[in-house]
Each structure stands twice: as C-alpha cells, then as structure tokens.
Amino acid sequence: MSRRHAATETEDEALFGRVQAFVREVKTARSLGAISGLLSDATRALHFDHFAMTQRFSLRIEGVPVQLHDLPQSWTAHLAERRHWANDPVLAACQRTVAPFAWSDLPDLIELTPPQRSYIEEAAARGLANGWTVPIHIPGEATGLCSFVLASDRSLPQASLPAAQYLACFAFEAARRLAGRGEPAAPRLSKRQLECVVLAARGKSDWVAGQILGLAPDTVHKYLEQAKARFGVSSRTELVVRALHDGQLSFDDLLG
C-alpha cells in the first residue's frame, strides 16, 4: 500500500469517526437548538463554513416545522426585510430533483429567473459564495433541504460530500421528530429487505446485489421499493438513514 493511499484511508476513517459521533449525539438531542449546534460543528469539520436546513413552501417561512441555520445575520435580515425567500433558486431546484447538487449546477436544473439570479449574486456578496444542497422529500409534507455553504469561491470539499449527505438526512429526521412530525413507531423491515438495503448502501447495483443474494435484479429492486414505501421515503439514501436511525442497521453492517 502506498503512503498516499494509506493517508487517504486514515483521513476517511477520521471522517467516518466524526459521522458516527454526530449520529450518536443527534439521536439523543433534546432540542432543535442542540441539533443546530451539533450540525454547525459538523459543518466545519466537513470543511464548510455554514449550514441551512429548512422544510417549507417557497412563499411561506413562518411556522414551518424545521428551520435551522448558522448563516450570517446580515443575510437573514436582508431576506426578511425584502421578503426575498420566494426567490430562492435552491429551493426551486430541490423541487425538481432528489439528488444532491452543487449551486454551480443550478442553471442546469432550473431556468433561472432574473430575481433568482439577483438572489445568487446578493448571497455571494454577503459571504455565501458556493454551496452543496441535499434535497429531502417526505410524502405529504413541504420540501426539505440541507445546504452546506462556502464563504469563499473555493472548490467543494469532494471527500466530505458523502458524509455531508448522511449528516443532512440524520439531522433533518431528528429535527423533524422533535418538531412532532416523525412517526412514533418505526416500521420494521424484513430480513431480505435489510440485506438489499445494506448492499445498496455499499454502492452495489441491483444486478450485483442479486448475484450476491441469489436473486433476480428485479426482485432486489422490488425489496428496496417495498422498504422505501414502509418508511415513506423517496430515495435509497433516505432509506438507509432511516434504517440506521431506527437501529435496524448499524455502521458495521454498511462497512461489511
């Protein structure tokens, strides 16, 4: 093993350790403020400068179930003063995709309006130059998202993005439950469903998972869709997070 490869593995292990610690702490957090503080610390450990997590419709911010951030006060005051929230292009893009995206990719996701372009320019001028957003979709509820933000126009910390995605989903689920929106009792997955979820979390395709489990790819896909339906989630990442959060899977299962 080369020194460079060994160093990369050490960095990955350290990052994974931070994720585990965050998950343990956020699951036992007793207030939204505690979750906000934990997420703020984790954001900086992942080499971002700010975070923003919300669940809302584009034209309304009052009374939303989840609204946490550590954005500069000057920016939030500017938004409140001008009622600029409705022009947020990040939220508009979240309503078009379930996949995380960089803010630099916004023009590829939506056709930016002049007010949305102005929003981006004003954000950059106030220290929110670039970011990476995880959309979160709960059936029957307002769109959710968690953004990790860079204060300067530097490149996204690519090595941190997978961890950031899991952190976003864990924090959102914990905040949602504290806000009274979570399910009181978690649905239970079958043994076959859990096996398929584990392999999906390890990055295996339906075909590869089928080869390992002795199942047809369509059968693997069916088990995963059934598991998503039981939890009421729309993506495999959210499915893995819910199974981890409820203790049906452990990180050791995912590491194999």
Residue numbers of the domain that contains 114: 3-178
34-59 pLDDT, tens digit per residue, is 999 999 999 998 999 999 998 865 44
Q: Is residue 183 part of a domain?
A: no
User: What's the total number of domains in the chain?
Assistant: 2
Tokens, residue 24: 């343990």
Mean pLDDT is highest, among 9-13, 16-20, 29-33, 140-144, for: 29-33
Q: Within this chain, do residues 101 and 226 fall inside the same structural domain, yes or no?
A: no
**What is the per-residue pLDDT for 186?**
61
Which CATH number belongs to the domain containing residue 201 in this structure?
Answer: 1.10.10.10
The CATH code of the domain that includes 44 is 3.30.450.80
Whether the predicted pLDDT of 168 surpasses 60 = yes
Q: Is 70 exceeded by the pLDDT of residue 8?
A: no
What is the rounded distance in angstroms from the CA atom of residue 201 to the CA atom of residue 166?
11
Q: Pick from 37, 11, 13: which is nearest to 25 by CA?
A: 37
> Has residue 56 been placed in a domain?
yes
Lowest-confidence segment of 131-135, 141-145, 161-165 by average pLDDT: 141-145
pLDDT at position 130 over 90? yes
* Final residue belonging to a domain, choices 155, 178, 201: 178
Residue 185 lies in a domain: no
Q: Is residue 186 included in any domain, yes or no?
A: no
Task: Give a yes or no: residue 126 inside a domain.
Answer: yes
Residues 121 and 227 in one domain: no
Co-location of 144 and 100 in the same domain: yes
Residue 234 CB burial class (10 angstroms; 0-12, 13-18, ≥19) = middle
User: Are residue 214 and residue 125 in the same domain, yes or no?
Assistant: no
Note the pLDDT tens digit of each residue in 189-201.
Answer: 888 998 999 899 8
CA–CA distance, 233 with 91 (Å, rounded to integer): 19
145/228 same-domain check: no
For residues 154 and 31, state if they share a domain.
yes
